[in-house]
Amino acid sequence: MNSFLRDRSLSWERDVEFSDAELLAEAAGRICYMSFGDLQYRKSTTDYLANIIRNGHESVLEHASFTFLIDGVSRALTHQLVRHRAGFAYSQLSQQYHDESGCEFIEPEWGDDEAHLEEQWKEWAESTRSLYKAMLSSTRKLNNTELSLKEKTRGARSAARSVLPNATKTTLVITGNARAWRNMLSVRGCIPGDIEMRNYCLQIFKILRKEAPSLFSDFELLNDELGAMVKKI
């Protein structure tokens, strides 16, 4: 960027307190209009990005990306996350290659009068783990001599994972550009009936707001009778 500016006899006095993500989005926008110049003759990074967002010119936000390591969420949640394909990349723990004998489950929030359901749920969870282990052990004993031990193990896990529910805990890495994260938060951040999704969006937003506040300045945290949520202003 410095070489480019020198070659064009341009100058850009950056606001040093801003993150690389914010400055990258600003630079991309300024390239479109070649609107560089000294700080006193232009808008600050905050004002510039706010104007970009206000006018819906969010393509420049796609140059800034953020990567998260997500651990301890349910597959019910990740089934919804992977529907957001544009601008996102996902790498998730494989139930075919990873032994899930010690798998854990995300327990729902119980009401005061649901102790009987909670007990049944815990019995079901233990029964599910037992069935998984039994299937894994049984299918590993396949007498197909054409298959290697590695192939038999993979086949066993493929069969045994059929009993694992949406509640199974999982781990994944997600990379998304700022525009994609903004869309996901606006669509998923305030859904009344999905507590886990709302909590996920809440934690994501707290980090994004801290790392690049100017890119998410039009979102806010709200509280209602169901708890905290992220909402686009």
Residue-wise DSSP of the chain: -HHHHHHTT--B---TTS-HHHHHHHHHHHHHHT--B-GGGS--HHHHHHHHHHTT-GGGGGG-EEEEEEEEEEHHHHHHHTT--TTEEEEE--TTTS--TT--B-PPPPPTT-HHHHHHHHHHHHHHHHHHHHHHHHHTT---TTS-HHHHHHHHHHHHGGG--TTBEEEEEEEEEHHHHHHHHHHHTT-TT-HHHHHHHHHHHHHHHHH-GGGSTTEEEEEETTEEEEEE-
Q: List the catalytic residue out of 8, 188, 198, 209.
A: 188
Catalytic residue list contains 188: yes
Catalytic residues: 188
